[in-house]
Amino acid sequence: KNEFSEMANNALFYNVNEEKGVVLTGPPGSGKTFLVRAWLGDNREVRDLAVGVSVLAESSRPLEGMVENLERVYDIAKLLSPAMVFFDEGDAVAPRRSPQGGSPYDKVTNKFLSIIDGESPLSRVFTVLTTNRLDILDPALIRSKRLKVVAVTGHLRDEDAVRIMRKSLNGTPREEGLSFEEMVRAAHSLCETPADFTAFAEKVRALRSTEIEVLGKLSDAVRGDAEAQARFVRFNYKTLLGLLEGSGGDPLLAAQARHGEEEMQQVLGHIAGRLEQIRAAGLYPLTRWHLYAARQQLAASPTRKGKQQLDEFLETELSQEPQIGFVVGVGANDVTGVLLPIASALVYHVFPEKIVVTGAVSSTAAGAGELDLAVQMTRQSAGEALTLVQTYLQSLAPGLNVSRLFGEYLEGYSLHHQLLSTSYSVGGPSAGFALAINTLSVLLCLPVLNDFGITGAPWIKGARRGEVGASVIIGGHLKKAEKVLQYLPRMYMPQQNYQDIEAEVLEAYRLEGRDIRGVRSFSALVPEVFAFGAGHQAALDTLLRLRRKHNLHQPEGNGDSEEMRELERCERELREEAETEICRRIEVVRRHVEEGGAAFLNHEQLFIPAATS
């Protein structure tokens, strides 16, 4: 929001010609259009030219008409300046041009580019495009000195959601004690984005408006004949039932009305008498019943219901305590992030393969090729995860041949990863770091902490010795972070992705006690994601609290402050403690292999002496 406001102010009020416009990108419902409308609402002196493809096109000559009308739009904007030209779904105005240059639609894109380039100066005219498909927008449009790209994540702080509720329901009376904060809490399990909260508020207002209309007609219906009453009940049954139950009136009357339309018609006169006092009061407020009814109706939407059921299912399957071989990864599709709990275990002589990944099967249905590719890529990531872990262990035990040691230790075993998701296609390379955590967990029987999610593809080497396993940049990181931080307080992602996140988004999460952390290396990550005992956990909690506080009050990476030096000391001590424990466990494995230890001993029991000695 701040970046958008600064750019618009520069172009429209300070005549900074370099600020020509912006492309707002983000998933559907993330608040791109809402952001533009909110800014225009605060800057009423700016003229708004909202332009759609239907406005530009002419039925007799669609492409030529679009080219000419584009030019007319900007001529008008220059006359009305300061003016904002707003293209909702802007990818239709400047789609990616044909590589061969022969597409008729290229004319429209070429014209739009020439206007933005300033074939005639665009003084105090600011262009805004919104899109949820940045990949189909012509890349020339977002090159230097044209339009800048601003990602709109849709992440809302509670105060932002309250602001939306207040604006949407301004002037509507509320029952005593019903606050906008309570409305937001009622909407939370269904709503994530500005569009969601706006839709919830509109549904609440619509329910109240309908009830007012029905109340006004009820007395006339009661005075009518049986046929008129039956027709009135048939068309307004749910609304009348809601009025009865929401008014907190006679429960016996409401119970009889719930039996069906005929039973309601029989007591329609009693219902009218019960509701007359509400109608006579004149001021009909929003009540908690309206919130409940709005939730019920919105949740009944097949798309929303399916999403809610999937989220609730995955939430119940999240680990309730640190466990060996249980980590929360996260994927993303075109619209949202998807939680991806992964369970891993060692199994003996069950599978012929050394590494097994399950969670879905390939298919001959539409999209099967993409699904099969995701399966193969996730199996590949599991193999890379094992190599990363062995490289990490080798760095801690340089005097041992770690690869051979664990090869003999695991003779006859398979490493089985199960991905708990209804959408296997969200696996693939970005599950690699989660798979590496689980691999180390099951090899050394280290419990994985249950308060974080992670995404990232592993690189088995590091930038320098002692820092094994960089995390490779991936896609969809903002959607993934938003999904994880709905349920868990910590999110890890590749450092390059982390640096791409706007400061105000990070601040909003940290103010709520949640955080996003960039992964520099697997070596640095390990001390923060495994349970090494009560003392280590207490030190980790202190580190996480100090880090959030520091990042809220000082520029990130300020290495000169005393607070930063304290953070570095805490990180160093945690890492030393974690690596000491891991080295003990490597030594346990070495002795077990050399001495031909008991074949049927539980692996967890094997490590108890090393953990308590």
Q: Where are the domains of the chain?
A: 2-151, 162-299, 311-612
pLDDT of residue 430: 78
Domains 2-151 and 311-612 agree in fold: no
- Write down the pTM of the prediction: 0.62
Q: Which two tokens stand for residue 236?
A: 């307004």
Confidence grade of residue 610 (pLDDT, cut at 50, 70, 90): very low
pLDDT band at 515 (very low <50, low <70, confident <90, very high): very high
The more confidently predicted of residues 426 and 327 is 327
Question: May I ask the CATH class of domain 2-151?
Answer: alpha beta
The reply to whether CATH 3.30.230.10 applies to domain 311-612 is yes
Neighbours of 507 (CB within 10 A): 13
Cα 469 to Cα 14, 293, 389, 582: the distances in Å are 47, 51, 9, 17
**27 contacts: CB under 8 Å, gap ≥ 6:** 132, 154, 193, 334, 335, 336, 479
pLDDT surpassing 50 at residue 69: yes
Instruction: Encode pLDDT of 364-417 as tens digits.
Output: 444 444 445 556 777 888 999 999 999 999 999 999 999 999 999 999 999 999
The band of 609, judged by pLDDT with boundaries at 50, 70 and 90, is low
* Single-letter residue type at 557: G
pLDDT of residue 404: 94
Question: Is the separation of the CB atoms in 502 and 24 below 8 Å?
Answer: no
pLDDT-derived band at 453, boundaries 50, 70, 90: very high
Q: Note the pLDDT of residue 326.
A: 93
Please give the pLDDT value at position 534: 93
pLDDT at 483: 82
Pair 462, 551: CB distance under 8 Å: no
CA distance between the termini of the chain: 55
Q: Which helix (H) or strand (E) holds 42?
A: helix 32-42
Instruction: Give the per-residue pLDDT at 63.
Output: 77
